[in-house]
Structure 1
């Protein structure tokens, strides 16, 4: 395993230790984005890499069964506290603990860049019913807002985000060509929630403690100076139908 792959795996497995901050600081997903990702007639939807259930909450609707799949025990504990009535399974995108052709849609929020795409695509195709949809979604901070650009500059100065090859636009067979769409929106947040959002990033979690505290101190100073009350996001969505 290369040094880059080792670091990537270390970051991918880091979220459990900040599951509570993840729940407090990570944004939800806008309704119009989720409506676009999941077909109207879907009755069984799987949330891959469900985390603390941020996307799961948006996927739920009358007449629809949502099943969550999450590898981290700490994340599952937070999920079970918030959504105790939703079925929650230990698994990954490469090994989904569900029968063949058992879901109408699979949706992966904020996590596809951590998976082995070849194995995950094959597994998604196994679990989906013919004509089912695979949806991938990321909430990205909108750096066209000046203070968000300053925040991004601070983060890059201390803890450059891992290079993400999301591979969302080239799933390949047996899926049809990928469709994509962006949704711009704003999320009301307190300074404390913004700090939790920063603290729950994998590349911040894995910093040395003294470096992490220095970074968070600079973020606090920025928030004190700018007094933001909302975070602008661009929610980037991708979907593909199983042939």
Structure 2
């Protein structure tokens, strides 16, 4: 679980405003209760439970909640963190272990770009009840800040052309071209406040998948580049505490009856 623990220690949580949005959606869906309903909420790519932990502290224990995650390293951390009313499962978005029309709300926090394709959307459509919702959200860094842009330029060196990235918005093109979902809301909200010393900031960027999977030598090289940015930027070089600027993006769609 070492990889999962490193990820969990260095990734941002979610704002109260973003959590309230999801809780409000769940409340809106309360009339959709059916006798064949299996879960109120299905969370995809729950990771180590950063989002799961936050939202489950704000909902009733009567809510039937399934947190799914394909990585065993992450799943081990997730299971140790979530409350007892949350079920956990190892599965991927293309093969959900659920009947048709059995979930009211699907959530994908910081992950939909990894599996954004027509086939996976068909599977999500299958398990959602008519009128059910699929809500995606991301903590996006503000790449317009010069020092953050410098780190983004370093990260880009390690990405393959085909590596899915939320900032490419390919996921948005995929969902816009899927006739089974209709857009309910798309908005940008103020992001989480995440700050610390240089080691903390570099630790955060080291938890990004494209860096965490590098060889030890390549990783040390990347981290040295991050430290160089923080030590040379006029915005960060004299600071003992550096804030990583985030914005929260929410994309919310409803299942249409075709």
Structures share fold, TM-score greater than 0.5 = yes
What is aligned with 1:74? 73
Q: Helix, strand or coil: the match of 1:126?
A: helix
Task: Please identify, of 91-100 and 32-41, the stretch whose mean Cα deviation from structure 2 is larger.
Answer: 32-41
Is 1:56 equivalent to 2:56 in the alignment? no
> In the aligned structure 2, how far is the partner of 1:59 from the partner of 1:100?
25
What is aligned with 2:37? none
1:77 is displaced (CA, Å) by: 0.4
Q: Helix, strand or coil: the match of 1:176?
A: strand
Q: Which has the higher contact order (CA 8 A, sep 6+)?
A: 1
What is aligned with 2:234? none
What is aligned with 2:218? 211
Aligned-CA RMSD value: 2.4
What is aligned with 2:16? 31
What is aligned with 2:190? 184
Alpha carbons of structure 1 residues 35 and 169: separation in structure 2 relative to 1, 3 Å: farther
Unaligned runs of 5+ in 2: 31-39, 232-236
What is aligned with 2:255? 242
> In the aligned structure 1, how far is the partner of 2:251 from the partner of 2:177?
10
1:151 is displaced (CA, Å) by: 2.6
> In the aligned structure 2, how far is the partner of 1:34 from the partner of 1:127?
23
Is 1:127 equivalent to 2:123 in the alignment? no
Paired residues of 2:53 and 2:81 also in contact (CA < 8 A): no
> In the aligned structure 1, how far is the partner of 2:175 from the partner of 2:16?
22
Q: 2:206 aligns with which of 187, 190, 199?
A: 199
Q: 1:166 aligns with which of 171, 176, 185?
A: 171
> In the aligned structure 2, how far is the partner of 1:20 from the partner of 1:70?
15
Paired residues of 1:37 and 1:237 also in contact (CA < 8 A): no
> In the aligned structure 2, how far is the partner of 1:227 from the partner of 1:102?
50
Q: Helix, strand or coil: the match of 2:191?
A: strand
Paired residues of 1:50 and 1:70 also in contact (CA < 8 A): yes
Paired residues of 1:112 and 1:136 also in contact (CA < 8 A): yes
> In the aligned structure 1, how far is the partner of 2:51 from the partner of 2:177?
21
Unaligned runs of 5+ in 1: 1-15
Paired residues of 1:24 and 1:193 also in contact (CA < 8 A): no
Q: Helix, strand or coil: the match of 1:194?
A: helix
Q: Helix, strand or coil: the match of 2:251?
A: strand
1:95-114 to 2 correspondences below 5 Å? 95-114=95-114
Q: Helix, strand or coil: the match of 1:51?
A: coil
Q: What's the TM-score, normalizing by structure 1?
A: 0.82
